[in-house]
Structure 1
Amino acid sequence: MTKFKETTTALELGALFEKGEASPRDATEFFLARAAGEDADRRVYVRLTEARARAEADAATDRAKRGVRRHPLDGVPLSWKDLFDSAGTVTAAGSLSLKTRLPAHDAEVLARAARAGAVCLGKTAMTEFAFSGLGINPKCGTPANAFDETTERVPGGSSAGAAVSVARGLAAGAIGTDTGGSVRIPSAWNGLVGLKTTAGRIPLTGTVPLSPTFDTIGPLARDVADASALFSLLNGSKPVDIEGGDPKGSELGSVAFWLPGGVGWSELDEGVARALDAGIRKLLHAGARIVEHKLPELDEIDALAWGGGASRLVAEAYALWADTLRANEKDIYAPVFERVMAGASIKAADLLSADARRAEISRRYLTATAAVDAVLLPAVAITPPPIAKLEAGGPDYFKANRMALRNTTIGNQLGLCAITLPVGYDAQGIPVGLMLQGHPGTDEKLLRLARAVEKVLR
């Protein structure tokens, strides 16, 4: 009898393999069968890599039998966003304009995971060129949010299929990228843990870029333990002892959080606000110290990031993709086309001025928050809207996209690491995420803290 199901965590699967109570081969066939049945229209997986998955699973099964597993996630089936190069498999970054792009080699991070024994199930759907926080892609298919069975809502983006693959039990974990929130937004809206790593911690070689300055790679997982294990897999490091961040068992007596108010806590949907308020109360009850004080740097970086004419993210996207978009305009979703082509008007002097301003804001932010363990923000301020309401683009699309990305973009702009945890549900029954922001390079510390918070919230 199968000892696992679609909700079994990645580490639980690995433990079953270690004890000989299940095999990577069985788990891989299980997820491939679920993907074939539950995702027949290929809105979650743009393509499955069955032959590769089975070969990797067979090798992992043999290692498990011989007692030479390479990592706690050796043999665990994962999904990969469609911008990680995989040898001999089309990697199109969610765009018809790249539909014939066939890499000769795996992305460095995929190769690293494969060497540690992870099984690659396939490539997941995403916003074209990873340039949206909503996850809508009419050209290649939009996976619906996993938590509304009556109305198809946006999944969050750009790692849309990555989140839905885990939330719907089509993979044990997923790997995505985060340039302005693309791991954290879909994780928050699909009840997952999503880790935005510090830029540079995980190599981007072989990953289709959007903005090399802000692009990062991170896991989408069922819990913090899985996110931590996936981080070690991708980082090529030893697994983190995440229990070390829980100072008083299930309590947070020595932990200080900053609750900044301001732009990050403004314009929340009512159900989102209620879920977050309940979560904050749980942290207080567990003994955490909450510092409620303005943090003006958040408002300043928000204004800079979204100010017209000086966005480094847009400038880099334009430099990379403008020629491709011009040559294939009929195949490009109009809102993505518009956002990228806005880079044509950006002046070098304005861009350099904005860079200097961003660095100055970042220095002040890091100094101001040095004495607290994390800054708390809603991962996303709004409930995910229906896909049909936004698919045509226009003002409603851009307003929703701005609100989806608003809070998460702050971490990318400031160069931070950040994690979103499920904190409850909104009035529509859609998950709500609480985001913890840590200082650059403190990813392991953030994971330990997130584990302690997760215990309280659950």
Structure 2
Amino acid sequence: MDLSFTSLAELSKALTEGSLTATRITAHFLDRITAHNAALGAFVHVDADKAMAMAEGHDRLRAAGVVYGPLHGLPIAVKDLVDWRDETCTVGSAAWSGRRSTTDATVMKRLLAAGMIPIGRTAMVEFAFGGWGTNPICGTPWNPWDRETHRIPGGSSSGSGVAVAAGLAPAAIGSDTGGSVRIPAALTGLAGLKPTYGRISLKGCFPLSGTLDSVGPMTRTSEDAALLLEALSGPDPDDPATLAAPLLEAGAWRRQAVDGLHVAVMREDDFPIALSPDMQAAFERAKEALVALGVRLVPVSLPFNFDDLTRRNGEIIAAEAFAIHRDYIHDEARPFGPHVRKRILAGEGIGADAYIATLAHYRETKRRYAEFMRPFAGLLTPMLPFAAVPVAEVDETTVPLALFGRPANYVGACALSLPAGFNEAGLPLAIQLMGQPFGEESLLALGSALEPLLAADKRRPEGLAA
């Protein structure tokens, strides 16, 4: 077993069988970080001693017959906006290099309650505001699928994607306000799940947009995403949105047959941007694979325009981000990245009337989407228009990577990015399934069935073998 690229589910099975220990697994990934993180820039903080102490403790518990669940003793990487009491949490900003958490995020509490071992904090776009994955001041992580050219890792959960794709962690936590879990997952060959708003508590996760934020897993497989979703979801009195969410039934996705499910398919006429030939081919392969699984595909004309939803999503993000950072974002003496600063300052020009009107449109669009999706287990769309480009070619004034990502946040959907093979240059391709509100079980069932057909090529990034 190559631990570096083994799924959570497989590692869990090995722990249960006694062929591996939490100490061995954790030490392996810490060694991987020591060997490769300087070149990749996935982690911004690692406390190896703390992680090993936790692993040793979890091994002792297991030996005594105390096991918290299937994730007990497994390491995980965590995006640097999730609070963990007394730990550094910079939210990707050099200006906040001295910030320390004063409380535990609910996400962190639930990871620890599941017996997981946070092995480090991952790099991110400053304040989580950007889809390319760049951070000109703190550094842009290196997409591991090209060791010669510095290509975008995707953002804003850039380090989380690189950490898992490069085999420095078996899974990671990201956040997603307009694609920030799904974009880096897609660009690095992972499964990335954006849960429905309210499914996972946001308490203690530094916000970008309180209206649109979500927290989700970035994993090797849909099964791993399901394991993390089950551990993290549930009502939290400190986050009222979770109190209205239906309870997630553990393992329900496994019991859902995909044969006979109806999946809507986005028409090319509705694409907000043309796809590269390789991404178009991946989209076509996904349709063929769904048919092979017995899924009934239904081409649909969408009752909304992705371009329009992307723009409106951006207005909400900018307005709410400015409200959060307004007291210091004008201060030129503070080392904020110029592009993130500009995006936040754009929110200053959004008046109360425009913001309120957009929120009203947002609520109505969520209602229309829920009604539109009633007959469907999912909506198949592209995830990205193209594969990872060189960092040197990025135009920070444009948002092409968000054009298929932001709408899911705006309409109140859950959404799953899935790897769909590689292009001729060996770069990952991806597709997206959007689901009904709180329809994660159907997406995970579909994703798990699709993966063997779409990602049969099990290649790994060069130069990163165990």
Q: TM above 0.5, one fold?
A: yes
Give 1:3-14 correspondences, 5 Å limit: 3-14=1-12
8 Å CA contact 1:262, 1:295 repeated in 2: no
**Which of the residues 129, 135, 138 maps onto 1:137?**
135
Deviates more, 1:320-329 or 1:419-428: 320-329
8 Å CA contact 1:49, 1:120 repeated in 2: no
Quote the Cα distance in structure 1 between the aligned partners of 2:118 and 2:2: 19
8 Å CA contact 2:171, 2:220 repeated in 1: yes
Name the residue aligned to 2:157: 159
Deviates more, 1:96-105 or 1:33-42: 33-42
**Which of the residues 143, 146, 149 maps onto 2:147?**
149
**Which of the residues 354, 357, 360 maps onto 1:353?**
357
8 Å CA contact 2:155, 2:181 repeated in 1: yes
Paired positions, count: 442
Give 1:283-322 correspondences, 5 Å limit: 283-297=290-304, 299=305, 302-306=307-311, 311-322=315-326
Quote the Cα distance in structure 1 between the aligned partners of 2:181 and 2:111: 18
Name the residue aligned to 1:245: 256
Give 1:11-410 correspondences, 5 Å limit: 11-40=9-38, 43-235=41-233, 239-247=250-258, 252-264=259-271, 266-297=273-304, 299=305, 302-306=307-311, 311-327=315-331, 330-390=334-394, 396-399=395-398, 402-410=399-407
In the TM superposition, residue 155 of structure 1 has moved relative to its aligned partner by 0.3
In the TM superposition, residue 328 of structure 1 has moved relative to its aligned partner by 5.3
- Partner amino acid, structure 2, of 1:277: E
In the TM superposition, residue 59 of structure 1 has moved relative to its aligned partner by 1.4
In the TM superposition, residue 52 of structure 1 has moved relative to its aligned partner by 2.2
- Partner amino acid, structure 2, of 1:164: V
**Which of the residues 424, 429, 434 maps onto 1:432?**
429
Q: What are the ranges of 5 or more consecutive residues in structure 1 without an aligned counterpart?
A: 391-395
Give 1:407-426 correspondences, 5 Å limit: 407-426=404-423
Q: What are the ranges of 5 or more consecutive residues in structure 2 without an aligned counterpart?
A: 235-247, 457-466
Quote the Cα distance in structure 2 between the aligned partners of 1:190 and 1:131: 19
In percent, how many aligned pairs have the same letter? Answer: 34
Quote the Cα distance in structure 1 between the aligned partners of 2:298 and 2:157: 33
Quote the Cα distance in structure 2 between the aligned partners of 1:27 and 1:328: 45
- Partner amino acid, structure 2, of 1:51: D
- Partner amino acid, structure 1, of 2:7: T
8 Å CA contact 1:56, 1:117 repeated in 2: no
8 Å CA contact 2:130, 2:156 repeated in 1: yes
Quote the Cα distance in structure 2 between the aligned partners of 1:335 and 1:424: 32
Instruction: Output the aligned Cα RMSD.
Output: 1.9
Quote the Cα distance in structure 2 between the aligned partners of 1:37 and 1:87: 28
8 Å CA contact 2:95, 2:336 repeated in 1: yes
Cα distance per residue 1:122-155 (max 9 Å; x no partner): 1000000000011101211111112112211100
Cα distance per residue 1:6-60 (max 9 Å; x no partner): 0111111111111111100111111011101111257110010223211211111
* Partner SS for 1:398: coil
Name the residue aligned to 1:393: none
* Partner SS for 1:40: helix
- Partner amino acid, structure 1, of 2:401: A
- Partner amino acid, structure 1, of 2:99: R
8 Å CA contact 1:286, 1:456 repeated in 2: no
* Partner SS for 2:397: helix
